[in-house]
Amino acid sequence: MSRRFWSNIWAVAYREALVRRHDRAFIGVVVMQPIMMLVIFGVALSNKPANVPWGVIDRSGGEVARRFVADVQATGYFLPPVHLAGYDEGRRLLRRGKMLAVLVVPDEFERDVERGRPRVQLLLDGSDPLSAARVGAYVAQTAAAFRPRDRGGERRAAPPSVDVRQRFWFNPTLRDRTFFLAALAGMLLTNLCLSVTSTSLVGEREAGTYEQMLSLPTTSLEIVLGKLVPYVAVSYALLLFATLASGLVFGIWPQGSWLALIAVTFPYVLASLAIGVFVSAVARTSAQAVFISVFFVMPSFVLSGVMYPYQLMPHGVRELGGVFPLRWYQIASRRIIERGGGFGDIVVPALALAVIFALILLALRWRMRPRLA
């Protein structure tokens, strides 16, 4: 090939490098994305359960039962236990995702220890099969090594290991597909909402129609909402497809209220679409908007809890995931689809999504105000 051919290539490459050199958003994303992923996968996430929320129904009330609970707590995997009044309270907290396990100590636990046949019941949230199996294994290991003390305070040599009867609620067969398909609609809607709106405003600027749009007798809020409305119907069509496909192909139907699922989807779709419009308002080019949206999608999937239970994340990272709409939507959808929840179970997630949507609208109004002057 001629020298001119290579010279032209290097000239174009040099020009492109100069353009990117002054693109602060591009440089920021390139630098921050690997740092963020390094922290998330190196520090925040682990398949080893930690900070497990759990409860205890202690019907025995004896010293031996308290020692057994203390031994489970001493493993370091569990938060301090919440003492519950009965099964109804335990099931309610399990259904709402407030805890992952409930240990039930029977009335005759101490007498059974003396006879060498102690047993307890462990109720587990089976909606996340991996976490449920591991939590159950840790409790079983503790039970196998449990040695009550005699009256002199010494550990007994005889090993009346505690028989742990495990019962999995909401997903008795521990099917992994139930855990993932319950959040399928949320993941699909995140991709859809960001992809269709992240280039909306920046596309208007590139096409030369942005100033024409601003000349209309409309406010910034009206422009933003007008950009969102057409995609709401598309989002509900996608929700219907994901729900019917999961049910018809894999037999996973919502166990709770369909109306509640439809209702909580509305603020989630609005919040996700608004994020896409905000990305479009910040970006200078369509390519930059796509790049930023991809930068947002991956942390959303990882920190929201759709692939890894957020209850087991360390403090700080767990709270950070709360800024993503997908966190609250997957909580609501799993309560409805897996746990049979209704409107009462989605109040908090729906309010959180409404607040996120309102905050994004305020940010958009601030961002677009100089351009609308």
For 16-53, the pLDDT digits (tens) are 677 667 766 666 666 766 676 666 666 666 666 778 89
For residues 328 and 268, give the distance between their C-alpha atoms in angstroms, rounded to a whole number: 8
Residue 130 lies in a domain: yes
Given 155, 174, 193, the domain boundary residue is 174
Lowest mean pLDDT among 102-106, 116-120, 185-189, 312-316: 312-316
On whether both 147 and 104 belong to a single domain, the answer is: yes
The total domain count for the chain is 2
Decide if pLDDT at 122 tops 90.
Answer: yes
pLDDT grade for 189, boundaries at 50, 70 and 90: very high
- DSSP symbols for 10-55: HHHHHHHHHHHHT-HHHHHHHHHHHHHHHHIIIII--SS--SB-EE
Residue 41 lies in a domain: no
Residue 101 lies in a domain: yes
On whether both 167 and 210 belong to a single domain, the answer is: no
Decide if pLDDT at 154 tops 70.
Answer: no
What pLDDT does residue 328 have? 95
CA distances from 104 to 64, 107, 160, 202 (A): 14, 10, 18, 58
Residue 20 lies in a domain: no
Given 174, 205, 226, the domain boundary residue is 174
For residues 283 and 277, give the distance between their C-alpha atoms in angstroms, rounded to a whole number: 10
Name the residue range of residue 305's domain.
177-372
pLDDT grade for 91, boundaries at 50, 70 and 90: confident
On whether both 340 and 260 belong to a single domain, the answer is: yes
- The phi, psi pair for 151, rounded to 5°, reads -65, -25
Q: Which residue has the tokens 């080893």?
A: 48
| Residue of 98, 186, 128 lying closest to 338 (CA atoms) | 128
On whether both 295 and 335 belong to a single domain, the answer is: yes
For residues 61 and 104, give the distance between their C-alpha atoms in angstroms, rounded to a whole number: 11
204-260 per-position pLDDT tens digit: 666 655 555 555 566 666 666 777 777 888 899 999 999 999 999 999 999 999 999
Q: Which residue has the tokens 């989630």?
A: 268
On whether both 157 and 247 belong to a single domain, the answer is: no
What pLDDT does residue 369 have? 56
What pLDDT does residue 209 have? 57
Given 149, 174, 199, the domain boundary residue is 174
Residue 102 lies in a domain: yes
Task: Show the tokens assigned to 169.
Answer: 């609620």
pLDDT grade for 104, boundaries at 50, 70 and 90: very high
Q: pLDDT over 70 for what percent of the chain?
A: 78
Decide if pLDDT at 177 tops 90.
Answer: no
Specify the CATH number for the domain of residue 128: 3.40.1710.10
Name the strand (E) or helix (H) holding 101: strand 101-105
Residue 48 lies in a domain: no
> Could you tell me which residue, 315 or 192, shows the higher pLDDT?
192
Q: Which residue has the tokens 């009867």?
A: 165
Neighbours of 234 (CB within 10 A): 14
Q: Is there a contact between 25 and 284 (Cβ–Cβ < 8 Å)?
A: yes
* Burial label, 55 (beta-carbon count in 10 A; 0-12, 13-18, 19+): buried
Residue 260 lies in a domain: yes
What pLDDT does residue 373 have? 38
For residues 316 and 319, give the distance between their C-alpha atoms in angstroms, rounded to a whole number: 5
On whether both 119 and 258 belong to a single domain, the answer is: no
On whether both 226 and 185 belong to a single domain, the answer is: yes
What pLDDT does residue 41 have? 64
On whether both 94 and 242 belong to a single domain, the answer is: no
On whether both 259 and 354 belong to a single domain, the answer is: yes
Q: pLDDT over 90 for what percent of the chain?
A: 28
What pLDDT does residue 372 have? 40
On whether both 134 and 169 belong to a single domain, the answer is: yes
Lowest mean pLDDT among 22-26, 85-89, 105-109, 148-152: 148-152
Decide if pLDDT at 332 tops 90.
Answer: yes
On whether both 205 and 153 belong to a single domain, the answer is: no
Residue 203 lies in a domain: yes
Task: Show the tokens assigned to 285.
Answer: 């080019």
> Could you tell me which residue, 354 or 77, shows the higher pLDDT?
354
Q: How far is CA 224 from the centre of its chain?
A: 27
Q: Which residue has the tokens 């996430």?
A: 45
Q: Which residue has the tokens 């497809």?
A: 241
On whether both 163 and 294 belong to a single domain, the answer is: no
